[in-house]
A and B are shown apart, each in its own frame.
Chain A
Amino acid sequence: MGMLMVAPAVIITAALVVYPLIKGFQTSLESADTAVGGQPRFVGLGNYGDVLRSSTARDAIVHTVIYVALAVTFELMLGLIVAVALHRAFRGRGIVLAILLVPWALPSVVSGVLWRRVFDPDSGLLNSMLQQLHLVSHPHVWMASRGWALVLIALVHVWGVLPLVSLILIAGLQSIPEEVYSASAVDGATPLRQFRHITLPLLRPSIAVALTIGTVWAIKIFDEIYVLNGTALNTRSILMEVYNTTFVNADFPHGTALALLLTAVTALLAAGYAVAFGRSTT
Chain B
Amino acid sequence: MRGVFWTVAWVAVLVIAACGGGDSGASSGFAPGNQVSIAGQEINVVLPYKIPERFLDEFARQTGVKVSLNVTNWDSVHAKLVVANTAKTYVADVTEFDWSFTGQFAAAGWYEPLEKVIDPALIRDLSQADAAFNTGGHTYAACYSNDYRLSLYNTNMFMAAGLREFPKTFAELGLAVANLKASGVRYPLGIPMAATEGGVTPWYLLTLAMGGQLFDQHFKPLFADPGSAGYRALQFEVDAVHNGWVSPGSVTLDNAPAFDQFAAGSSAILLASSPGNLPTANDPKQSSIASHVQPALIPGIRGPGMTFGLPEGLAIPVTAKHKDAARAFIEWWMQPANLRLLYQEAGMLPCRSSLIASMATSGELPGGGVLSQELAHVVPLFPQGAPKWYGQFSSSAQGLLNAAVKGDLSVEAALTQLAAKARELAGS
Contact = CB atoms under 8 A, between A and B. Distances in A.
Interface in B46-87: 75, 78-79, 82-83, 86
Interface stretch (B7-15, B154-162, B171-179, B369-377): B7-15
Contacts of A34: 86
Interface of B: 1-2, 4-5, 8-9, 12-13, 16-17, 20, 75, 78-79, 82-83, 86, 104, 107-109, 194-196, 199, 247-249, 251-252, 254, 261, 266, 388-389, 391-392, 395, 398-400, 402-403, 406-408, 428
B312 to A, nearest CB: 18
14 contacts: A4-B1, A4-B4, A15-B16, A19-B13, A36-B104, A144-B406, A230-B195, A231-B395, A233-B403, A243-B79, A247-B79, A249-B395, A250-B104, A250-B392
B249 A233 contact: no
A35 B82 contact: yes
Contacts of B13: 14-15, 18-19, 22
Given A36-B388, A252-B86, A141 B2 contact: no
* Residue of A34, A122, A143 ringed by the most chain B CB atoms within 10 A: A122
Given A11-B12, A122-B247, A141-B248, A23 B17 contact: yes
Given A18-B13, A232-B195, A141 B249 contact: yes
Contacts of A22: 13, 17
Q: Which 6 A-B pairs have the closest CB atoms?
A: A121-B249, A247-B79, A3-B5, A232-B195, A233-B399, A122-B249
Given A3-B2, A7-B9, A19 B86 contact: no
A176 interface: no
A36 to B, nearest CB: 4
A140 B252 CA distance: 12
A1 interface: yes
A244 to B, nearest CB: 6
A63 interface: no
B79 A122 contact: no
B65 to A, nearest CB: 31
B108 A14 contact: no
B251 A230 contact: no
A146 B252 contact: no
Interface string A3-17: 110010011001100
Nearest to A234: B408
Nearest to A138: B248
A184 interface: no
A29 B398 CA distance: 28
B402 A35 contact: no
Nearest to A248: B395
Interface residues of A, number: 44
A194 interface: no
Given A19-B20, A230-B194, A250-B391, A35 B86 contact: yes
A186 to B, nearest CB: 56
B391 A249 contact: yes
Given A3-B1, A18-B13, A247-B83, A234 B104 contact: no
